[in-house]
Structure 1
Amino acid sequence: MALMKSPGALTSSEIEKKVQSVIEDMGLRHVADSRIGGTIVRGVSGGEKRRITIGVQLLRDPEILLLDEPTSGLDSFTARQLVSTLASVAHNGDRLVLMSVHQPRSDIVNMLDRIGILTSGQLAYLGPPSEMVPYFTSIGHPCPVNENPCDFYMNITSVDRRNADRERLTLRKAQNLCNAFSKSRLQEGMIGTITSGLNYHYDDEEDLRHSQQQLQSPSWFRIFNCLLERMNVHLWRDRANLVGRLTQLPIFVPFLILYIGRLGYSMGSIQDRMGLIYQSTQAPPYIGLTNALAIFPALRELYYRESQDGLYSTAMFLAVYLVHILPFNILSSTFFAAFLYW
């Protein structure tokens, strides 16, 4: 994965160094040599899987990291640990981390540099967490004592659609909050920050050259080898599947022998030979199809996820898959033909 994610200009040693750096940043050193696992084979925990997913994206060294509800489905401790890791990644790596969070805890909110509250696609607040309560208090919405400020202000900016009257009332209230923010000093400061960022340009040729290297994709040969090696590793780990792919077709031969028996050379054996030829031409495609149904769906899910990142094309994936299954099909068909001829 790291070889496919990293720019083509990087050497193997540089890629390995980057991988080790990401492992340290995401706090995954203790599970660096563990399997991720799945529905059948147990692997790392849910929080560790979430950090691995984020770490894979960090291999490209992005300046902006977008996360959609990264804490969903995690317990409070694991969610806090994940957000703490993301905060370290943002501060130490000099990158921007944007994430959507529903019902965040107070300690998680305090880890964020800025927090934004959206309602109907408009901003009701954007600024430091420490200024959120004073801001809403200044416009007539103080937070009650012993209540999570983020939950409270998300509630008052939400639109209640249970009936027409509630929807009209809450929508007007949310719109007033958005209008108030658009006239606040926080909004003016945000616009000033955006304007100054738009005026940035590269003055250093070294910075420009580095950016061009980051956009350089790895060669098709590297991607082909990475995909093929990963498919082979997954198959080697699943020994039962490996043995089944090699022996499933040859095992079909004894059943043919028991049903048809040894063929003679008389006129009466012609029909038996025709039946044998028919079964011999129908069994390999059918067994190959059952093998594909057992193997291909998992690989297809990986393809859907990785192709969205632009790692490789459909043609590349299918070419690697054909090269991967070809040796097993040749061996299995050879065993089948040898037993059948015997």
Structure 2
Amino acid sequence: MASSSNEQPPYFAPILNSEASAAEKHHSYEPDLELNHVQSSHLVNDIVRCFAWDSLKVEVKDRATKKPLSILSDSKGIIHGGEMLAIMGPSGSGKTTLLNAIAHRTAAAGATTTGDILANGKKISWQNLRQLSSYVEQEDALIGSLTVRETMQFAAGLALSSSTSKAERMRRVDDLIANFGLQEQKHTIVGTPIKKGLSGGQKKRLSVASRLVTDPKILFLDEPTSGLDSTLSFEVINYIKDIAKRHNLIVIASIHQPSSSTFKLFDKVALLSKGRSCYFGLLSDAHGYFSSIGYEMPPETNAAEFYLDLINTDLAKEGDEIFARVQDITQKWADSPLSHRLESEIEKSISAAKTSAHIPDLSKIKSNKPKVWAIPLVLLQRSWIKAYRDIVAYWMRIIMYLGLAILMGTVFLRLSTTQEDIQPYINAIFFGSAFMSFMAVAYVPAFLEDLHTYSKERANGLVGPFAFSVSNFLIGLPFLFIITLLFSIPAYFLINFRQSGTAFIMFVLWLFLDLVAAEALVVLVSVIFPVFVVALALAAFLNGLWMCVDGFLVPMNVLNPFWKYVFHYIDYQAYVFQGMMVNEFKSRTYDCAQTSPGQYHCMYPSDLNVEGKIRGTAILDNFQIGRAEKTWVGIIIGIIAGYRVLAYLVLRLRH
């Protein structure tokens, strides 16, 4: 450990160094709640002394029969401050279901959860539990372009109240970095697909450290060693154990097939098979218990592997030996003295809560959250750093759009004001606006990364949908404007659009609105379908639809009424196309083809045909384009707002 002195880090309350940890104090299965409150003045975490769950059941509807199907049955458990609990079982045993249920999260899709979640012997609401705990997901919710220190700083900014001074905030951050052995990597980025950063073990440690910045009393870990080898697994769990013991933290982790050395770091173990309890208790008692019911562990055997093999039903069939063995183990556990003692300990914690005046009332704990306005500011700062460092988010798009501008400018190079170039002008306007919008699909992967981070942070009560939506919208505006400007400068002058400062500004405005609307559509689609391939395909399809009905490929007097009235009027590309057409043609004239002296062939009828000219407004009339630029701007802004509001509502309802 980077911090090895006896002095405790300042982000936890003081502790008398001579005192043993709470985990050592609970060396047997006998409850010790009264002793806890007598010695509570010596504990770092004096708020949550024990955490328990009783008669916890989770049911879902069977897909075939539509009848209730139990995926977790009558689960019980209790854990004290300073202890680490490993929830273990084969695949499909209900480990994550139990972890989510006791963390007051949705246990499974469409699940119904019943039973009691208790802290200090009293039922605890999800709001109070959220204030007292942190949940570390199996998949890291880390932003690859941030450094270790920045990750910790932003975690503190999202979690700590504004009353916490900047100096105190930084002390907490630096102490956690040191305690998790990340001091040498504090200025190293987490890592992106393009630039390497932290190792797998360091990322896991950072994930946990970023959740500890608020000094939680309970830490839930979902598969904290997944994807790590045995050495890194031991390293991560050992760091967590050290923090838990020194600060009386309750740690509950679901874990799959740990090595022998990693398994021994846990104080208690909960074994599950098909949602039913096979054992709950001290790790040191498990060997004796299974021997007493007829399942002796061979010498020099990894205990974790032995227990998992014993209760594994992956290959079991009803009536065979494996099925019968697991049935026997679950039944013997339900009837065992240890199981009855567990029930008694939970009951005693409930009784103690009713009779003791020394046990804290968790329902009266005040939230230490930052003010509502502070969270969007933190997200804006974080998003800004991510945006200018992450090549994929915007810089790759800048290169793409700049390449498109050069392509267009050289293909439609220096168009003239003759009637032969009128159609190329129109084609350039359509191509530029349509493909600016279409290429916004490149934002899908960057937004999905942000959405993934948001989902984890919202589940921990750190970020709400409004703050995320506002910061995501605002941070994109300057980058989208830069993209638009960089595209417009070469394209506009190479193509030879109307040479006017006002016309150029309007050209930039229309393309900027086009890009903002396209990105808003990408956000909406990605929120509804947060899968890369699906979001990308659907966003591309919708952009193709908008191209078809915007009034260029099929004139409005020919367009099928269904497509016209259902889709054309909500097509932001249509208003951009119309606005850019008006911007180019309303104040310009074009030369007709001269067939003989004094005789002209004009493609568009206008009052200037006798002079061998075509008034630009005649082209607009041919496309049935009016002159309602201000109205079109308002409609596009309304469409952008509509996309963003819908995305916000989906976030609020779904995530």
Q: What TM-score do the two structures reach when normalised by structure 1?
A: 0.84
Q: Give 3-state SS (helix, strand or coil) of 1:177's partner.
A: helix
Taking only aligned residues, the RMSD between alpha carbons, in angstroms, comes to 3.1
Deviations 1:222-248 (A, max 9, x none): 211221222221232245865544454
Match in the other structure for 1:312:
463
CA contact under 8 A between 1:126 and 1:186: conserved in structure 2?
no
Deviations 1:16-59 (A, max 9, x none): 11112222332222222211113332111111111111111112
Deviations 1:232-271 (A, max 9, x none): 2123224586554445435434433433332333333333
Distance in 2 of aligned mates of 1:68 and 1:46: 16
Deviations 1:267-291 (A, max 9, x none): 333333333333343243234x144
The 1:170–1:337 alpha-carbon spacing in structure 2 relative to 1, beyond 3 Å, is: same
Q: Which moved more, 1:89-98 or 1:104-113?
A: 104-113
Q: Give 3-state SS (helix, strand or coil) of 1:66's partner.
A: strand
Deviations 1:40-86 (A, max 9, x none): 32111111111111111112221111112212222122111222112
State whether structure 2 residue 176 is matched by structure 1 residue 22.
Answer: yes
Q: Give 3-state SS (helix, strand or coil) of 1:99's partner.
A: strand
The 1:251–1:200 alpha-carbon spacing in structure 2 relative to 1, beyond 3 Å, is: farther
Q: What are the residue-to-residue correspondences of 1:155-304 with 2, within 5 Å? A: 155-159=309-313, 161-166=315-320, 168-181=323-336, 186-187=341-342, 190-191=345-346, 194-195=349-350, 198-199=353-354, 211-212=365-366, 215-238=367-390, 243-246=395-398, 248-287=400-439, 289-293=440-444, 295-304=446-455
The 1:248–1:175 alpha-carbon spacing in structure 2 relative to 1, beyond 3 Å, is: closer
Distance in 2 of aligned mates of 1:16 and 1:202: 36
Which of the pair is proportionally richer in strand?
Answer: 2
Q: Give 3-state SS (helix, strand or coil) of 2:220's partner.
A: strand
Distance in 1 of aligned mates of 2:253 and 2:362: 28
Instruction: Compute the displacement of 1:327 (Å).
Output: 1.4
Select the residue among 463, 469, 474 that pairs with 1:323: 474
Deviations 1:166-213 (A, max 9, x none): 2542243123321342566743663355435644877599x989931x
Q: Give 3-state SS (helix, strand or coil) of 2:411's partner.
A: helix
Partner amino acid for 2:407?
Answer: F
Deviations 1:126-163 (A, max 9, x none): 32222222333334433322223343344334446432
Q: Which runs of 5+ in 1 are unaligned?
A: none
The 1:199–1:93 alpha-carbon spacing in structure 2 relative to 1, beyond 3 Å, is: farther
Select the residue among 276, 284, 289 that pairs with 1:130: 284
Larger Rg: 2
Match in the other structure for 1:94:
248
Distance in 2 of aligned mates of 1:169 and 1:255: 71
Q: What TM-score do the two structures reach when normalised by structure 2?
A: 0.47
Distance in 1 of aligned mates of 2:399 and 2:315: 60
Which of the pair is proportionally richer in helix?
Answer: 1
Distance in 2 of aligned mates of 1:100 and 1:243: 40
Q: Which has the higher contact order (CA 8 A, sep 6+)?
A: 1
Q: Percent identity?
A: 24
The 1:123–1:198 alpha-carbon spacing in structure 2 relative to 1, beyond 3 Å, is: farther
Deviations 1:283-305 (A, max 9, x none): 43234x14423532322222232
The 1:134–1:263 alpha-carbon spacing in structure 2 relative to 1, beyond 3 Å, is: closer
CA contact under 8 A between 1:18 and 1:59: conserved in structure 2?
yes
CA contact under 8 A between 2:161 and 2:371: conserved in structure 1?
no
The 1:102–1:293 alpha-carbon spacing in structure 2 relative to 1, beyond 3 Å, is: closer
Q: What are the residue-to-residue correspondences of 1:36-185 with 2, within 5 Å? A: 36-159=190-313, 161-166=315-320, 168-181=323-336
CA contact under 8 A between 2:271 and 2:277: conserved in structure 1?
yes
Deviations 1:82-121 (A, max 9, x none): 2211211211111110112233333333322222323343
Q: Which moved more, 1:184-193 or 1:225-234?
A: 184-193
The 1:144–1:199 alpha-carbon spacing in structure 2 relative to 1, beyond 3 Å, is: farther
Q: Give 3-state SS (helix, strand or coil) of 1:145's partner.
A: coil
Q: Which runs of 5+ in 2 are unaligned?
A: 1-154, 497-655
